[in-house]
Copies of this chain bind each other. A is one copy, B any other.
Amino acid sequence: MTLSLREKRRQETGFQIQKETLKLAMENGLDSVTTDEIAAKSGISTRTFFNYYPNKEAAAIGHPPAFTDSQMAALRDGTGPLATDLKQFLDSQIAALSEREDIIRMVGHVLRSNDKARGILEGILVAERRLLKDALLARLDNRQSAVSLAANVTDAIRATIFLWQKEKDLTLAAALDVVWDGVTNAAEILASTHKNEARS
């Protein structure tokens, strides 16, 4: 996991570009920012901007914290109740996101008004769901069940950020607890049919 000097500098420049992009986007929306402006503010040529990101929307989204090996291992090899492991996974993921509150807020702002940015993030989420599904399949026999759980996890993250942006007095961790309570509640409603069917 050690990065060469080159890689480290590249990461830093990429991060710098993201911050300048978001800062400019906060003023009049990302659509009214030109790649020329972003490049100028970032101290690079316009052509070089496209060496770092394929377009300005990708620059605004940047690179969200990836799932770590230990997070995935805990999910795959956990022994407790699966629901507990999922909550812990979410706790650690939200903790990672808490390191970048300012960026999340600005990204959220961009996502609200820019389709392309939404699509780029959605692509990242699709990949995350696939990772989660594969990990969960190690503990489940029902494939669609793993698919549904994975979707609930990434959606919980989305809902948590949304709630946190709306209720300014909540921390991200507190917002997750509220969301998770709702998820469990919803699960009880959905699970009840099954029980009824079994009884009948």
- A194 to B184, alpha carbons, bound, how many Å? 7
A2 interfacial by beta-carbon distance below 8 Å:
no
- Closest CB in chain B relative to A173 CB, distance in Å: 15
- A155 to B144, alpha carbons, bound, how many Å? 12
Q: In the complex, which residues of chain B have a beta carbon less than 8 angstroms from the beta carbon of A84?
A: 193
Which of chain A's residues 152-200 have a Cβ closer than 8 Å to chain B? 152, 155-156, 159, 163, 178-179, 181-194, 196
Contact of A144 (CB < 8 Å), options: B143, B144, B159? B159
A119 interfacial by beta-carbon distance below 8 Å:
yes
Which of chain A's residues 115-153 have a Cβ closer than 8 Å to chain B? 115-120, 122-123, 140, 142-149, 151-152
A82 interfacial by beta-carbon distance below 8 Å:
yes
Q: In the complex, which residues of chain B have a beta carbon less than 8 angstroms from the beta carbon of A57?
A: 115
A81 interfacial by beta-carbon distance below 8 Å:
yes
- Closest CB in chain B relative to A30 CB, distance in Å: 12
Given the interface contacts A119-B116, A159-B147, does A193 sit within 8 Å of B184 by beta carbon? yes
Contact of A148 (CB < 8 Å), options: B120, B182, B192? B182
A155 touches B151 (CB 8 A): yes
- Closest CB in chain B relative to A176 CB, distance in Å: 11
- A185 to B189, alpha carbons, bound, how many Å? 12
Chain B proximity mask over A82-108: 1 for CB below 8 Å, otherwise 0:
111011000000000000000000000
Q: In the complex, which residues of chain B have a beta carbon less than 8 angstroms from the beta carbon of A188?
A: 187, 191, 194
Q: In the complex, which residues of chain B have a beta carbon less than 8 angstroms from the beta carbon of A184?
A: 190-191, 193-194
- A90 to B179, alpha carbons, bound, how many Å? 24
Contact of A152 (CB < 8 Å), options: B145, B152, B193? B152
